[in-house]
Structure 1
Amino acid sequence: MEFEICLEPSGTCFKADESQNIVEAAKAHNVAIKHGCSSGSCGDCKGTILSGESEQGPFMPLLLSPTERAAGMAILCKLYPRSNMHLQAEVIPKNIWNAEIVGLRKLAWNVLELRLRPAKPYPYRTGQYARVAVPGHEDQWRSYSMATPPQDHGELVFHVRELPGGLFSQWLFYQAQCGNSITLGPSLGEFALHPDNDRPILCIAAGTGLAPIEAIIQESIDLGQNRPIHLFYGAKKQRDLYHLETLQQWTQQYVHLTVTPTISDAEDANWSGARRLLPSVAAKGHWQNHEVYLCGGPGMIEAAIDLLLSHDVPHEHIHFDAFAPNG
């Protein structure tokens, strides 16, 4: 059975089958509804149910606060219509930016630093991500977080991990060259530094989740803040870690920054540092007075949130960006 879905304030309407979530249905009708992961992990598709019946599927804990739930807010990529509906939801302007590849640099055996120079200014906030069209498959888009705060020279920096079968990462690793053009959509995401307090900062990053975490740390430093920052950075093997020299330089330059790299592979005999990301976080102290920033896969994020709540960290002090790779 099909239902009519109308979005406010744009007035955009489209049809949705009862088996389709709102984001799926919008995309099927070329409606650029705001969304990110499409898996209930990021919260970028938050909307408010104004009228109609629906069924809310499971999503990442803490995406909706009790106040938001009481106000009728929902995660639209997991919301299934059961009648005609009116929703308050953001429709993204169909702006695009053409950008030139100006840098490709190996950071680890399977991670590339990608530098782009947009043809016109690309506005974004520290911690946000860009939607990138896959060259040769312009109907396919991938999401990557900017790894630095906005730069005076306008360049965008990304950390891209190679994925077996990944359309974009395979193109980037084996075909892309400086001078190639890439199409970007508008910046998205609510993951950002909260500079309106002086609480110490705890950062937890897994894999290329380091990218927006580095940007947030840089912004805090650029703002002249000297509140303590402790970054826990995890990967599976030692060879998967990257930017360790950069992070070490930061700790020498900024005495309020501590970095603890960890690996999860118990058989990596050459590693003498900390092992297992979240147990290392738990062992280092209690975090109830900290502002917390998390970035990594949904499993790590959920486990980290459970750990932090057990350490009496208020949920409003926990900010996260969960990502699941597109194959």
Structure 2
Amino acid sequence: MFRIRLQPSGLCYGADKAEDLLFAAAAAGIRVPAACRNGVCEICEARLLKGRALNTRNQHSIAVGEPLMMCRTRPLADLELEIPAVMASGNYQPRQYQAKVIDVRSISHDVYRVALQLPRRRDVAFHAGQYLSVILPGADPCYFSIASSPFAEQIELHIQASPDWISAQKVIDALTSGQDVTVELPHGKACLASMPDKPLLLVAAGTGFAQMKSLVDYLRETRYQKPVKLFWGVRKHEDMYLRSLAQQWQEEWAPFSFLPVVGDDEDNDWGGHHDQLVRAVLASGFDWQDVE
């Protein structure tokens, strides 16, 4: 294990010779600005100050003073790197941004998937699992879980907006108006500020799946290999708006398993699906000391 020191922040973490610097930093709870994760966007560019490193795209050694992409670099010795805008876990303070609405798409009878582009995406930091607020003129903030990974180029939201939900409908109307919107992030403590060292149990109800998607995308991108089990509870089958995505994760990612819980009740005011979800989790037989 090699020691990686980042300047001017002074943050340090460990990485072995088979590990890209970007993903090792994420596992240590250090947020390095990134987007494409394959060396193209150059957002994770740093400069080598000390040590020896390998460019995994061309298998060439990187000389001191040369730039490098942290997503495509592995250490051959202890390293010192120069890279701005790096923060440790817990250091993210909420800030307001003007977001460009890229897409608003209906993905079920009452859920919309929204894609936002923030200016200077490199400077926007959040942990997987956190949420943001949409701030409309003359209205209280509306809060939505971020459904995308911190590495993603765009911010994804899942907004449930039934016709009788006036505040949610106002948000959808604002997002489809063609105007930029004000968002504030990050918020929330139910997140991954560092890589867990135990298997993960994830539990969501309804559009709480958005938060789970952020977590799962992040875990997959950082090559987490411990078991991850997701329980997703809904009232009716049609409410499980991205079931095919969860099933795809299960097919493609060996550590992941998915357990849908459907209340199958037509009463939209019925809250029993939450009780059913809790019972399903409790009946799963987990040793609660062995999971997070």
Provide the secondary structure at the position in 2 that maps to 1:284.
coil
Output one character per residue of 1:94-149: Cα deviation in whole Å (capped at 9) or x when no partner. 84211111111122211111111123333222111112112x43x42111111011
Matching residue of 2:183: 184
Structure 1 counterpart of 2:106: 106
Equivalent AA in structure 1 for residue 134 of structure 2? V
Is 1:237 the counterpart of 2:236 in the alignment? Answer: yes
- Listed as ranges, the matches of 1:81-96 within 5 Å are 95-96=95-96
CA distance in 2, matches of 1:245, 1:103: 21
1:281 match? 281
Contact 1:101 1:178 in 2 (8 A): no
Fraction of identical pairs, as percent: 23
Q: CA RMSD in A?
A: 2.6
CA contact (8 A) 2:147 2:210 kept: yes
Correspondence 1:226 to 2:228: no
Whole-angstrom CA distance in 2 between matches of 1:183 and 1:114: 14
Q: Tell me the secondary structure at the aligned position of residue 212 of structure 2.
A: helix
- Greater shift, 199-208 or 258-267, is seen at 258-267
CA 1:196–1:102: 2 relative to 1, 3 Å: closer
> Structure 1's 263 and 94: CA in aligned 2 closer, same or farther, altered over 3 A?
closer
Partner SS, residue 127 of structure 2: coil
Could you tell me which residue of structure 2 aligns to residue 201 of structure 1? 200
- Inter-partner Cα distance in structure 2 for 1:93 and 1:223: 23
Unaligned ranges ≥5, structure 2: 1-91, 268-274
Q: In the alignment, is the contact (CA less than 8 A) between 1:100 and 1:178 conserved in 2?
A: no
Cα separation, 2, equivalents of 1:278 and 1:258: 17
Going from structure 1 to structure 2, the CA distance change for 1:248 and 1:148 (only over 3 Å counts) comes to same
Residue equivalent to 1:143: 143
SS of 2:113's equivalent?
Answer: strand
CA offsets per residue over residues 213-270 of structure 1, 9 Å max, x none? Answer: 12112212211111111100001111111111111111110121110111113579xx
CA contact (8 A) 2:94 2:187 kept: no
Pairing 1:128–2:130 present: yes
Q: Which amino acid aligns with 2:212?
A: I
Counterparts of 1:109 and 1:251, CA distance in 2: 25
Gaps (5+ residues) in structure 1? 1-91, 269-274, 293-327
**Quick one: structure 1 residues 253 and 170, their matched pair in 2 at CA, closer, same or farther if it must change by over 3 Å?**
same
Name the CA shift for 1:150/1:93 in 2 (closer, same or farther; >3 Å): closer
Partner residue in 1 for 2:4? none
CA separation in 1, counterparts of 2:193 and 2:148? Answer: 16
CA change 1:198–1:278 in 2 (3 A) is same
SS at match of 2:288: coil
CA deviation vs aligned residue, 1:261-312 (integer Å, no higher than 9, x gap): 11113579xxxxxx931222122212323434xxxxxxxxxxxxxxxxxxxx
**Is the 1:129–1:144 Cα contact (8 Å) retained in structure 2?**
yes
8 Å contact kept, 1:103–1:178: no
Letter in 1 for 2:107: L
The offset of 1:188, in angstroms, is 1.4
1:257 and 2:259 aligned = no
Contact 2:104–2:112, Cα closer than 8 Å, also in 1: yes
Report if aligned partners of 2:127, 2:193 keep a CA contact under 8 Å in 1.
no
**C-alpha displacement at 1:161, in angstroms?**
0.8
CA contact (8 A) 1:104 1:178 kept: no
Inter-CA distance 282–244: structure 2 relative to 1 (3 Å threshold): same
> SS at the partner of 2:102?
strand
Shift of 1:176: 3.9
In the aligned structure 2, how far is the partner of 1:94 from the partner of 1:145? 14
C-alpha distance after superposition, 1:180-232 (max 9, x if no partner): 21101231112212645431111110011111112112212211111111100
Q: Which amino acid aligns with 1:258?
A: S
The answer as to whether partners of 1:200 and 1:289 remain within 8 angstroms in 2 is no
Aligned match of 1:60: none
